[in-house]
Every structure is written in C-alpha cells, then in structure tokens.
Structure 1
Amino acid sequence: MAKFKAICLLMILTLLLSGCWSKRELNELAIVVGLGIDKVDNEFEITVQVVDPSEISSKQPSSGRSPVITYQSKGATVFEAIRKMTTVTARKLYFSHLQIVVLGDELAKEGISEPLDLISRDHEFRNDFDVIVAHDATAEEVLNVLTPIEKVPANKMLNSLKTSEKTWGTTQSIKIDELINTLNNKETSIVMSAIEILGDKNVGMEQMNVKRSKSPVQLKYTGLAVFKEDKLIGLLTEDESRSLGFIKDKIESTIEILACPKGGTLSTEITHSKTKIKGEFKNGAPKINVVIDVNQNVGEVECNIDLTKEKSIKYVNKKTEELIKKRIEETIKTVQQNYRVDVFGFGAALHRKNPKEWKKIKKEWLTIFQELPVKVEVHVNTQGLGTMENSLVNKSKGE
C-alpha cells in the first residue's frame, strides 16, 4: 500500500514540473549581434546585423555568402521598427546575443534617451552589450561594412574597442546599464567611444573588402564623443581621450614618447596607472586635486642616453611626468572652455567630500565647473629597461 501511495505521489508531482513549453530552436531564430539606431525623417531607422551560422561554422565549408545579413526597418518608435522588421526577416529576431549597439551621428546630436528606453527595459535584451556612436556616418553604414579576420563585424568592433582600451587608452567601454545610470546622474556627463569609416562606404559592403590583403574600407575608433545631457556636442582628440582615461582611472597600458637630452626620442610603456580625485571646499569654494601614480618600462630607445645611470632614469621619470601633466591640464582646460560639461566626475568627488556644500552649488555646477581650479600631480616610476640597457642604434654607430 505504501509503495502504491509513493507511485501516485510521484505521478502527481510530474504534473507540476515545468517543461520546455517556451523553447525555441536555433533554426527558428535570427541571432542579432549588432544593432544600429538612426533618425530619418522623424522616424527611427533600425538596422540589425544577423549571423548566418552556416558561413561562420568551422565544420562547414563556406559557400561564399556574406557571414552576416543586415535588415532595416523604420517606425515611430524603436519597438515598432523592430516588430515591423518581421515582414522582411525569415525568422524571429533574437537579441540575447547582442554584442554592440551603434548610434548614428545625427541621432546622437538630437538625443539618445528615447531610443535607448526600449533596449534598457525589454526582457529580451541583456545588459552586457556595449554602446558606441558613429562619427560622420549612420549606424546603418557602420554595420554594413564587412571586416577581415573577424567574420562578424560586430565582433570586430567589440574586440577593437576592448583591445584599444587595454593597450592604448583612447577608447572606453560603456555598457548599457552604466550608460543609463550616467544619463540619470546630473553630476557627470557621458563620454562614448566613436567609430568612423575609412574609405568608400559603398565598397565596404562588398565581399571584395575582405578578399584583399589590405582592405580598402576599414572601421576605426577615433576618440571619445562628448555628450551634454543626452545630446552629442563634440569629439575629443586621441590625446584628449587618453588624458581623460588617466583622470578617470581607465588607463591599463599606453605609450609615451619623450625627447632625449641630446636629440632623438625614447618610448616608454605605461604598465600601471592609479588615479585619485580629491574634492575639497575652501571657504565654500570648490577645488579639485588629481593625483596620478604611474609605473612604466622603457620600450624603445632611439637616442644617446646611458640608462645605467641614476640621473638618466630620473630624467625619464621627470619628462614623463611633465608630458602627462601638461596634456591632462590642456584637456581639462579644453573641456571647461569648449564643452562646458563635467566628463571627469569632479562633481561626484565634491559630492562625496561634502554633501552639504555640494547641495549649495549643485544647481550652478556647470557654470562653476568652467572656472573650477584643478591641481594635477603626476608621479612616475620607471621599473624596467627591457633586455638591453642602452640603444642598439647608437651601438651600431660605434658610440
């Protein structure tokens, strides 16, 4: 009797177990890896980059087709445009593998809050994709460019973004949740990596762009785009973008080129950088201190300098400090005078230091920011000289 009861109980429990009622087979989905948003004639134009699985599979020979397909659709809202796209796609769009979102240049100038609303709240979108802005191009044009090595252009854009951020410092990755939080934060303004198309945009759509040893059309990151509230207002140069990276403690590694005492140049590799931003109020007036500690190695020597001597290392340290400090001070001045928005997070530092004093200046912060005194200190320590202490160039000349 007990055995019979146990069997009945198990049968009842099986009715309560969830099944795969909501499953979706791979051959029923169109996997979206890149999403572009443009504004055209008061409508949103959406471009999706969809993977062709058979063309990127390592187990199947290529048929010569493009590894990705792009689809476009327009609508009064982003949501409507995506739904209308089902009239041209053979499968339902699947956004859980989205790698990157590209915002068109014109859209960014008009404002990005509205089009970002759907992708930040829709359950089909995860929050781990990056957002970038197209420079002098539409998002559609960027997503239509085929890229070598990386068959999927969205992967190329993401990998270039990450690699440049880690080894050069002129780009900054920003996820959708961080972007939304910054938009809602009145203390700090948005910066976003900008990408441009080098070459003929129409040629970039053709297979010939990936069948040559040198691609005639390439996608290149070109510094950081500056926003005021949710509108694009300008673009920082590479040097300014790197300086911003130092201030925001985003630099993992980069290169500095110094002038040697007797002519020629010496290159160093920044291996570590740590920044502390300290805000303070003096008699109610705000000021900022930026302290940056840097470790570096000597990377390349094209001059006559004896690196075995302590005074030479001190010279290298001093020149690196002066170079980084000067560039950062120039960048701060440029942003204060030309863009007049706090992209550095100085307001947040003042808020943390003294919330009561910050509350008094909060409403006038952008006006105060333009004249804000900022003191920059850079401390550099050279740790490694490479496998050679002095220049091979000078040795070959008999010096």
Structure 2
Amino acid sequence: MRRLSGLLIRILIAVLLVMPLSGCWDRRELDELGIAMGLGIDKKGKEFILSAQIVVPGEIAANQKGSVEAPVTLYEVTAPTLFEALRKMTVISPRTIFLAHVQVAIFGEELAREGVADVLDILLRESKIRRDYYVLVSKAKEAREVLRILTTLDRIPANQLSNSLKVSSDSYASIAAIKIEDLVNGIAAEGDEAVLTGLVIQGDEQEGEELNNVKRIDAAARLRLKELSVFNKDKLMGWLDEKESKGYNYIKNRIGSTVGYITTDGGTVAFETINCSTKIKVRIINDKPVYDIHVKTLSRIAESNSEIPITDLEMIKKLEDMAAEKIVKLMESVIEVEQHRYKVDFLGLGQALQQKNAKLWNKLKPEWNNKLPELEIHCHAEVDIKKAGTTNQSLKKSMEET
C-alpha cells in the first residue's frame, strides 16, 4: 500500500511538471500577434473610428542607435458599432490584435460629449482586454490624431502616457490618474460624477507624426496632460482649469504630493506638500445638509528667493496661514464651478450626504442637481510646515549678510 501511495505521488508530481509545457488554449506565438498598447475611440456621425497603436517588434528590439522606422504603427477602422470595429481590425492587420497589454484608452472629445456608456459596456465585456488601463479625453482633437504623435523618452507613446499619468498624479495636483473601472464606478455612483484627465498636442502636429520628432533635442510636438474634464453621467460637460482641477483633487482627497507658492512683500516662497488628507463632514440643520471640508497638509519649504527669515517661528506661522488660505481659495473656485457653471455633483457631495443620512439623501436625490446652488459649504485648511529644506535661508539672504 505504501509503495502504491509513493507511486501515485510520483505520478502526480510528473503530471504537475508536464502541465505547463502543454500551454493553454489561447496561447499565441509572439510573431503571430500585433500587441496593442493604446486604443483611440472617436465617433463621426453614426460611425465609430477605432485606432490601435501597435508595437513594431523589430524596431523595439533593434539597436537604438540606427532606427530607421517608427517603433509603433497605427491601425484605424470604421464601423457602425465598436464591437464590429474590434473584429474588423483583423482585415487590415496581418497579425491577430493582442489587447491584453493596453496601457491607455483615449476618447475623442466629440465622442465623450455624445456619451461613452455604450463604449464602456463593450470594453468591459471584451474578455481580451484587462481592466487596469488608464482612460483619457483628447481635448479638441480626435483620439486617433493623438495616437499618431511619436514620443521621445519612451519609444512607445502609450507607455509614455501611462507613466506620465502615474508620475503627474502623484506629484502635481491638477492631474488625476483614472482607470477604466474608476470611470465606470464614477458614472454608476449616486451623488458623485466622473472626471477624466485631458490630453492635448503641443506643437506642430504634422511634424510630430514624423520619425524626426524623436531625433530632435526639442521635439516639434509633444503630448501634454491637460487638467480635468467633468462628466454628467456618461457625457462630457466641460473642462476645469488648472486651479479648479487642483481644488477638485484637494476636496476628493487625491493629493499625494504637490507644489505651491506664496508671494510676500519680501519675495516668493515655494513649498512642497508631502502629505495631505481631506475629510468632509456633513451636518443636518433644518432638514438641510451643511458641509465642512477640512484639509490638513504637511509641507516643507522647497525654494525661497525671499528676504524673510524662514527659520523664525512667527514667520513660519504666517506662511502656514497664507498657504492654508490659498488652498481654501482653490477649493472654493471648484465649488463655484459645481454649483453655478455645470450644476452637476462631480465633487461627491451627494455621496457624502448619503453616507451621513440616507433617508434625507433619498428625499433630495430627485432634484439634487437643482439644489446644488443652495448648498452651504465651508472650506477649512491647516498647513503644517515642518521643514525648511536643507538650508535655513535663501542664498540671496546669505549673500547680503556676508
């Protein structure tokens, strides 16, 4: 019996070792695949235009010194439905389009204004596409135009966009890195609307499509992330400017690290926020919600061309108060946009009320957007400057003292 048990164990081990060699049912040889890194979706009339940025394997693997061809190519198809467009891509591609490595999907502004619900439904149903890629809106341009621009630091433009979103959202307050599932949740959520970061072409678009664009020190065209777009359900309503986008991220507790500055009589002081937290408190007064938005930040002085003594505790307190006032103004600017320009709740005030008092939320929900201008909202900020960087005063001040 023991010998039989030992034999069964050895057979089981052998089977487990052999299984990986057999491959899976959907395995493809690399030279049979066209690996898509970026998708662009536009709409003209009733037709969808699908663009896929495909890696050219030979150019990516080739010696970087003497590249003579673009590292990516762009396939475009037009069809009445996006599902058909995905399948129709095989008509113009000599390889099976492999979608599992998509890094970004870009919506043209015209499509976004018309509505993206049907597009999202198809993208989520498509089992060959993972759900961890970022989504952007191409401002005033078609998505396919954006995907034609060649980039410098990363030879695959979709990769560069993905990396830029990650870095910018962590270090600069006007950008938000939104993945497709975040967008879907934002559209489906009660009392909260979605936003997406915008994307523009900066420079000469035609030259940006040429290989010479990546051979110049100063590229003729670049892709630039461009603040936030505001949605009402699945339709793009409009855009926020840089200050309003920063205010949005403060209120939504999406600030990792960012920079700001204060202008005083003695000059300008720049500070870096290294930690930030936001809490939204809802009070119910006379059957109406009253909001208190509290932001607390930990910062350090990053630059000073000012003559003020930045080691003086009284001066530090003054700088903290000035920085806090500036954050409050950023938040108030975007609240003004929500209440009076767009009148849609992209700040999630309804969601905060729902968490506080679901019964009152259900009562106010049918006319919530119409009630936004009437809401009482108070903004508070507390800035704690712990460090003055690696030096205690500006070089200019030190020179004057010698």
Asked whether the two chains share a fold, i.e. TM above 0.5, the reply is: yes
Residue from 294, 298, 301 that aligns with 1:298: 301
2:377 corresponding residue in structure 1: 374
2:129 corresponding residue in structure 1: 125
Shift of the 60–258 alpha-carbon distance from structure 1 to 2, 3 Å rule, reads: closer
Distance in 2, Cα, partners of 1:145 & 1:362: 44
Deviation at 1:27, TM superposition (A): 0.8
In structure 2, runs of 5+ residues without a counterpart are none
1:317 aligns with 2:320: yes
Deviations 1:276-334 (A, max 9, x none): 01122212111211011111000111111112221111111110011111121122112
Residue from 150, 155, 166 that aligns with 1:151: 155
Residue from 178, 183, 186 that aligns with 1:182: 186
1:215 aligns with 2:219: yes
1:235 aligns with 2:239: yes
2:292 corresponding residue in structure 1: 289
CA contact (8 A) 2:203 2:222 kept: yes
CA contact (8 A) 2:35 2:97 kept: yes
Matched residue of 1:202: which SS? helix
1:85 aligns with 2:89: yes
CA contact (8 A) 2:338 2:372 kept: no
The one-letter code of the counterpart of 1:92 is T
- Structure 2 length as normaliser, TM-score? 0.93
Distance in 1, Cα, partners of 2:224 & 2:64: 31
CA contact (8 A) 2:198 2:229 kept: yes
Shift of the 317–60 alpha-carbon distance from structure 1 to 2, 3 Å rule, reads: closer
Matched residue of 1:187: which SS? coil
Deviation at 1:61, TM superposition (A): 6.5
Distance in 2, Cα, partners of 1:355 & 1:129: 33
Deviation at 1:370, TM superposition (A): 2.1
Deviation at 1:143, TM superposition (A): 0.4
Shift of the 318–74 alpha-carbon distance from structure 1 to 2, 3 Å rule, reads: same
The one-letter code of the counterpart of 1:159 is N
Shift of the 63–309 alpha-carbon distance from structure 1 to 2, 3 Å rule, reads: closer
Matched residue of 2:218: which SS? coil
2:366 corresponding residue in structure 1: 363
1:64 aligns with 2:68: yes
Write out aligned runs for 1:222-301 (5 A). 222-260=226-264, 262-301=265-304
CA contact (8 A) 1:39 1:104 kept: yes
Distance in 2, Cα, partners of 1:60 & 1:234: 41
Percent sequence identity over aligned pairs: 35
Deviation at 1:33, TM superposition (A): 0.4
CA contact (8 A) 1:281 1:357 kept: no
Residue from 335, 346, 351 that aligns with 1:348: 351
CA contact (8 A) 2:301 2:389 kept: yes
1:169 corresponding residue in structure 2: 173
Deviation at 1:88, TM superposition (A): 0.7
Deviation at 1:335, TM superposition (A): 2.2
1:334 corresponding residue in structure 2: 337
Residue from 69, 75, 78 that aligns with 1:74: 78
Distance in 2, Cα, partners of 1:354 & 1:111: 31
In structure 1, runs of 5+ residues without a counterpart are none
Deviation at 1:22, TM superposition (A): 3.2
Matched residue of 2:146: which SS? helix
